[in-house]
Structure 1
Amino acid sequence: MAIFTLISTFVLPGAGAFSLFGLSPAVTNAIFTIGRSALWSLAGAALNQPDIPRQKVMATLSQTDGARIRAYGRNLLGGQRAFFEASGGRLHQVVVVHHGQVSGLIDIWVDGEKVETGATPAIVDGGGRINRYLTVYFRDGSGNGGDYAGVYNTGDSGNDLDWGDLTEVFPDLWTPQHRLEGQATYYAVLGDPADEDFQEYFPKGPHTNVQVEVLGSVVSDLSGTPVYSENAGLCIRDLLTHADGWNIPAARLNSASWASFAALCDEAVPLASGGTEPRYRMGGYYSLTEPLKDVTARMLATCDGQVYEDADGNIGILGGAWSEPDVTITAEDILSIEMDDGFDPRKSYNVLKGSFTSPDHAYQSTPVEEIRDEAALLTQERRVDSLPLDMCPSGTQLQRLMKIKFAKDRRTHVGTMRTNLVGLKARFPKGDGIHTIRVQAADEFGLDGVFEVTSHSFSIPDGFCEIGIASIDNPYPWDAATEEKPLPPGVNDLGKPDHLPPPMDGITLTQESVRLTSGVTGVRIVLRVNDPGRDDLELRAQVAEGVQSAQDPNAGWAEMSVAGYRAQTGILDDGQTYTVRLRWKRKIFQPGSDWGLAGTLTVTANPTPPAPPSQFGAMVTGSDVYLDWINPAADFYRTRIYRNTVSDFGTAIVVEPNVAGLEGQPANYTDEGLAPGTYYYWATTVNPSSVESTPAGPETVTI
């Protein structure tokens, strides 16, 4: 009967036999005779990588026949597009990210970066508005993943209620029959790519990669309650019982074994920086097309676990910790023994590398400090083995697992012994950790110590047991203060790039004269700002006629040409008032700053005031006042007439702002229909840039 073998097929051999890694009893027995080299390398070979690369799982792909996945713990997922259509300048897509229900949405990522929502509503379980160009909604797979009817009609702040959803925009393409039942999905709408700022937010346009960071599959705790858990034991238990896993009835699990192992996984392990972490956590995914024995091996590798079948045919789990032997086999019990050296220092690796995948490192495979056999490296060439655990979410957990592997790969003795039926005591594990026995046969066989039981078979009629054993010293003690090595900096340790542009500093607006032809001068506005000290920022500036608000999209804004931190307009209308607005533009993904007001300026080609009118005079004719003067000989454009009832030019009103005339020539104006009284008059001239002269006058008249 099989015990503690990694699950491969769950087709059980005959009574009394034991199949290691799914091999036949005959092959298994043959492995025992050739020693450690085949036996333990098979265990390592079972730790296969998934048959779909992580990059594909994290990307959003267009093909519809991609492998479906299930995930445990925290994961960053792209998925397979179920719908991808444009309408009204907006791109709509529905992406299937996970087969079955997940425990919730954490965040939205765009082109490899977690989205900064800024002032927009925070992302919650159902998704929501990201920015003015992107809205993402999410379905966790507990119902119909294709049901997004009415998501834009919730009245949530930040939603553009005029953005129709799938069923409104594509009533013939996306119908109630598109249910995607039991699939976790997201529905993303990218706004109008014709908008001037769209490319700044999404430089990849329609190829923008939207991802969802999720809490993975809902699993059952030991009481059968659906929960989210990163406990490695509970995740492995879910794989064994789930319909998309081994589909073993829960009643066939050794409940005491699984309860003990789940408790072991939750044990608090001290960290060098203070605090603790659970002993064995899990985070990662598997493809539904991947061989289940490979999936199981990858998951067991995160916790040094082994799955076995007990005497009642139930499935248990062991490993992950040390267990003192409670069975002793003496020389009197041993009928024969075949042993091999478990470790060849001339051929075995002397450097062990490892990598893990964690949210703290943006879900990228991250190496830890290697373990080195320094004594061997003094005289040998460097030989490297690796332990890439893509479902291990903790670098310190990986370091503990590397220590265990390094020790187990350096066993002194590996082989098999045949005993009398006393060996039946060693059939099944008794403790909570690895399955060990003590062998005391120093004089007869040169063996005296603790051995891990790797296999067991027996024949009662023939009166013998055959036990696979491998010597082992306890590799599980862990002193964080001396053994834990620093991890590569995480995203938070490195500090995220400063996505918030700094305030504009040193803003100046000036006008610059440009000689167009002989005697003709044009004017443009020049804007300058201080260098922000950021290579990722570019200046952007626009100009509009009149006095405008910086946020008014309908003001008729025109782009200004930019060079470095200087921007300029084209030639502008002399005497016209203009408003300039500015903002920082990002050279990479992430929006820049909002538009701000640089200022308002009236263009003046000739800032020199002209001479005032000469020979200014006034004469009363009835109720009218006749005024005449001589225009200046240069820089003349128009004459303005002012009037007051007191001798104060500062409070006088403009009677006529634009009296035409010629340079150096007489001109006149009649102010008609006045009431009786005393009046004071002044006259000024303005040049073509509307620059005004000092006044001529006052001339006093009485009607």
Structure 2
Amino acid sequence: MRRSLLLAALLASTALTPVEAKADPVTGFFLGSIGVSSGAAAGLGVAVGATSGFAAGVTFAGTAIGGFVVRTVLAIGLSAVARQLAPKPAVAPPASRMVNFAQAIAYAEWAYGRTRKGGPIGFTGFKNGRRYYVPILAAHPIEGVVEHWLDERTVTLTTEADPEKSNIATSPIAGYGRIDVMTGGPAQVANPGLVSAFTEMTAAHDFKGLSGATIWAARPPEASFTEIYPSGRQWAYAPVIDGKNDLFDPRDSTSGFSGNAARVIADWIVNIRGSEVDWDEVAEEADTSDEIVINAEGDPQPRWTLNGTISDEQDYEDHRVQLAAAADVYFYERTDGKVGFRVGRWEEPTLTLDIDDFYDLQLTEGQWGADAPDEVAVVYTEPANAWRETPTGSWVENAVAKPVKEEPRVFMISNHNQGARVAKRLARSKRAKYQLTGTIGMAGYEILGGREGGGAHRIIRVLHPPLGIDQAFEVGMLSRESFGMFTLTANSVEPEDFAFDAATEEPERPSYGVTVVSDGSVPVPASLTGTALPQGTIQYAWPAQDAAFTQEVRYRIVGDTHWLTARTSESAEVLQVTGLADGATVEAQVRNRTAGAGASPWGPEPPIETVVVVNPTPPGDLTDFDVTEAGDGQALVEFTAPNDGQYFGTRIWRGTTATFGSAALVHTEYGIPSAGDSYTDAAGYGTFYYWAAPINSSGIAGTIAGPEPVTLSAPGP
């Protein structure tokens, strides 16, 4: 019945005209889609044989529609997607991707926009004291690496070109490794360092078409191992990258890197999903995605971007849910068999359905009941939080004492403002004033293909006079039940649902300025002291530590490159280091160790310094200390060494005043105990003061004798 009424309505205008009837595209499409042949249409007075609308209708009728979205679903919007985000989508959080792993089968991963990620190991081997490995970041060429991360620290690279030399500049790992980025382009060649180290690797191993890096990590001194490799093995490489770099832009027919949501979605549809799009429609959506909005900080940003990773181990449905939720996307099957989509924005409805368009209709007022969230905070990927999953501030739709809060995970979002806008849309969708469920006939085709300028209607007007309803509704899901029969679900919407004033509506974002230290971290001892003991020994001491820790001291002579270490077997407060060279200046640091959590950092910084003393006992006093003039500007210094086995020599100082602090050491006279000794000092002419002190073999001085004055006169004329 509905088909006949619709056909009559479509033909009404041509039946009343005296000229030859010709089908407009919409009329032709409906005739073709419901199975009317061109001959039968001509018999009805409609010439459709050459119209594109009639051909598109025939194509649409013959396709397995619903294959792109899911089963028989022809269109899906945010309200339907919202249900699939709860409790969570089947997608790994960003933190789980900050690793490199080796396995027999690795799924392809696609990186869109700017994101941080690791990836599977494409090759690993050990040669010449180095671990070589090749993490694969994406199954396609990328624009490049923005920021290098080894484990959980950023590093900078030098311009060193020699593959045998380190190009890592960041301490403490500088000199112990190298990173050579592979962007996966057609000119990519095998890494020369890898080919040189392993005879099995040849020029054919260029990893062309794959992006990643060739890395080597050198074996460090044992004392520095945990400082350089805190995880106990080679670094996990998880850089920040600008991803897929061949996204087509229909606005200027160029291809390149972009985070523009429409270009990302179109690339996924065409190159990953294997379907077609209307590029004119993509251009319109790309313009909308590039529109500038102002965030809460007052900074401009594009309206919709997509930045993140999708994997071949996920279903296409999981991909689509993440993409749709991140940019408030409405997906639909176009009447020409292509996939259409529209990014989030308010569109004034131009299609009206009234009670005659429905076979049945259920219209409920109210919200989702007990399941309706009072607050929504989108969990997104936050660059300021090391590119990890982070909730936005909560969008409060219904302020109550004990709110029901939802945290849908939408990891293709990488900025707080976009996450907050999606949170508002999700909250409003789940607490819409009206929910509509109904069965419609041929009007389903009008929803899919009747929008002026092409494409589907996202927002429609529903008119129901008996209920007093004249309301805009957003299509949630349009499903094909049988030929010419569709199930429609929709939620009421208002223009304000799509508007967003960041200055007043964007919730406060979480703070990332404070580093949270887990209870499992190992603290560094608060202080360290060193005391020189006899026979080249230094005793190091620190405050009492937790009994769960043992301690390790590293030490070296100032100026040396490599550290030596000594450890306690159980928790202690002192540790002695022996066999040190007499008089050497030794620097040292200490740290705590535990088998369960590794080791603390070394401290203090800078290291403490201690002078080694083999013999700390000073000799006895000098006797008969005297200074006389020896002629020609010379002074004769005489003394008797003490009768003491500790005696090794005598230091002699000279000054021009009687203050010892201004004197200078002029000589050390070595001798034997009890012996008389002397030294002749060429001082010049004038009055001088001398001091002398006995020393032992380690240079430890006894009592200083003096001052003894002497006047050295110039010779007469």
Q: Calculate the TM-score normalised by the size of structure 1.
A: 0.68
Q: 1:504-653, aligned counterparts within 5 Å? A: 512=532, 524=537, 542=555, 544=557, 550-553=558-561, 569-570=577-578, 576-582=582-588, 598=609, 605-612=616-623, 632-635=642-645, 637=647
Q: 1:448 & 1:639 partners in 2: Cα distance? A: 111
> 2:321 — aligned with what?
297
8 A Cα contact 2:619 2:644, kept in partner: no
Pick from 284, 304, 310 the counterpart of residue 286 of structure 1. Answer: 310
CA deviation vs aligned residue, 1:496-522 (integer Å, no higher than 9, x gap) = 99xxxxxxx99998x6566xxxxxxx5
* Cα distance in 1 for residues equivalent to 2:160 and 2:365: 54
Aligned pair 1:58/2:58, yes or no? no
Q: 2:141 aligns with which of 101, 107, 113?
A: 101
Within 2, Cα distance between the matches of 1:686 and 1:366?
68
- The 5-angstrom pairing of residues 479-498 of structure 1 reads 479-490=501-512, 493-494=513-514
**Residue 391 to residue 586, structure 1, CA distance change in 2 (3 Å):** farther
Q: 1:106 to 1:134 in 2, by over 3 A?
A: same
Aligned to 2:416: 395
The aligned counterpart of 2:194 is 166
Structure 1 residue matching 2:215: 3-state secondary structure: strand
- Write out aligned runs for 1:255-270 (5 A): 255-270=279-294
Match of 1:412 in 2: 434
In 2, Cα distance between equivalents of 1:524 and 1:198: 26
Question: After the TM superposition, which of the residue ranges 418-427 and 300-309 deviates more from structure 2?
Answer: 418-427
* Gap regions ≥5 residues in structure 2: 1-28, 34-58, 518-525, 544-550, 594-598, 628-637, 653-662, 681-690, 711-717
Give, in angstroms, the shift of residue 495 of structure 1: 7.1
Deviation at 1:601, TM superposition (A): 6.8
Q: Say yes or no: does 1:132 pair with 2:167.
A: no
- Measured after TM superposition, the shift of residue 320 of structure 1 is 0.7
Instruction: Verify the 8 A CA contact 2:378 2:410 in the aligned structure 1.
Output: yes
Cα distance change on mapping 1:697 and 1:18 into 2, 3 Å: closer
Which letter maps to 2:458?
H
Residues 170-227 of structure 1, C-alpha deviations (whole Å, 9 max, x = no match): 2x23222322221112122112233532321212232532222211111222233222
SS of the residue 1:369 aligns to? coil
- Closer/same/farther in 2, CA of residues 123 and 111 from structure 1, 3 Å limit: farther
Task: State the Cα distance separating 1:489 from its structure 2 match.
Answer: 1.7
CA contact (8 A) 1:354 1:398 kept: yes
Q: Deviation of residue 313 (structure 1)?
A: 3.6
Map of 1:349-360 to 2, 5 A cutoff? 349-351=372-374, 352-360=376-384
Please give the alpha-carbon distance, in whole angstroms, between the structure 1 residues aligned to 2:181 and 2:194: 14
Deviations 1:157-176 (A, max 9, x none): xxxxxxxx222222x23222
Q: Distance in 1 between matches of 2:424 and 2:664?
A: 92
> Which whole-Å CA distance do the structure 1 matches of 2:500 and 2:181 have between them?
42
**1:230 and 1:344 mapped to 2: Cα distance?**
35
Alignment-mate amino acid for residue 247 of structure 1: G
- Which residue is 2:42 aligned to? none
What one-letter code is carried by the residue in structure 1 that aligns with 2:89? Q
| Structure 1 residue 283: Cα displacement | 1.1
Contact 1:91 1:206 in 2 (8 A): no
> Retained in 2: the 8 A contact 1:551–1:595?
no
1:216 aligns with 2:243: yes
Tell me the equivalent position of 1:7. Answer: none
SS of 1:374's partner is coil
Instruction: Indicate which of 463, 472, 481 corresponds to 2:492.
Output: 472
Identity %: 19
- Separation in 1 of the partners of 2:71 and 2:226? 61
- The residue aligned with 1:148 is 191
**Structure 1 partner of 2:15:** none
In 2, are the aligned partners of 1:144 and 1:183 still within 8 Å (CA)?
no
Residue in structure 1 matched with residue 256 of structure 2 by the alignment: 227
* C-alpha displacement of 1:418: 4.5
- Quote how far apart the aligned CAs of 1:112 are: 2.3
Query: How far apart in 2 are the matches of 1:435 and 1:174?
Result: 55
| Structure 2 SS opposite 1:214 | strand
- C-alpha distance after superposition, 1:544-572 (max 9, x if no partner): 4xxxxx33338xx7658899999875476
TM-fit CA distance, 1:523? 6.8
Check 1:440–1:571 CA distance in 2 against 1; reply closer, same or farther (3 A cut): closer
3-state DSSP class of the match of 2:585?
A: strand
CA contact (8 A) 2:135 2:237 kept: no
Work out the CA distance in 1 between the residues paired with 2:226 and 2:358.
78
Tell me by how many angstroms 1:473 deviates: 2.2
TM-score computed with the length of structure 2 as normaliser = 0.67
Output the CA distance in 2 between the equivalents of 1:369 and 1:683: 77
Give yes or no for contact 1:146–1:185 (8 Å, CA) kept in 2: no
1:299 and 1:225 map into 2 onto residues whose CA distance is 23
- Gap change, CA 1:374 and 1:241, over 3 Å in 2: closer
Q: Give the residue type in structure 1 aligned to 2:257.
A: Y
- Alignment-mate amino acid for residue 584 of structure 2: Y
C-alpha displacement of 1:69:
0.5
Q: What root-mean-square deviation, in Å, do the aligned CA atoms of Structure 1 and Structure 2 show? A: 5.2
CA shift in 2, pair 1:132/1:22, >3 Å: closer
Shift of 1:309: 3.8
Cα distance in 2 for partners of 1:433, 1:400 equals: 23
Residue of structure 1 in register with 2:46 after alignment: none
Q: 1:308 to 1:589 in 2, by over 3 A?
A: farther
Residue matched to 2:474: 452
1:441 is aligned to 464
Q: Secondary structure at the match of 1:488?
A: coil
Q: How far is 1:539 from its partner?
A: 10
Whether contact under 8 Å (1:321, 1:434) holds in the other structure is no
How far off is 1:139 after superposition? 0.6
Q: For structure 1, list consecutive stretches of 5 or more residues without a partner in the other structure.
A: 4-11, 150-164, 498-504, 515-521, 531-537, 545-549, 617-627, 643-649, 672-681, 699-703
Q: 1:434 to 1:347 in 2, by over 3 A?
A: farther
Q: CA deviation at 1:148?
A: 1.3
- Closer, same or farther: CA 341–17 of 1 in aligned 2, 3 Å: farther
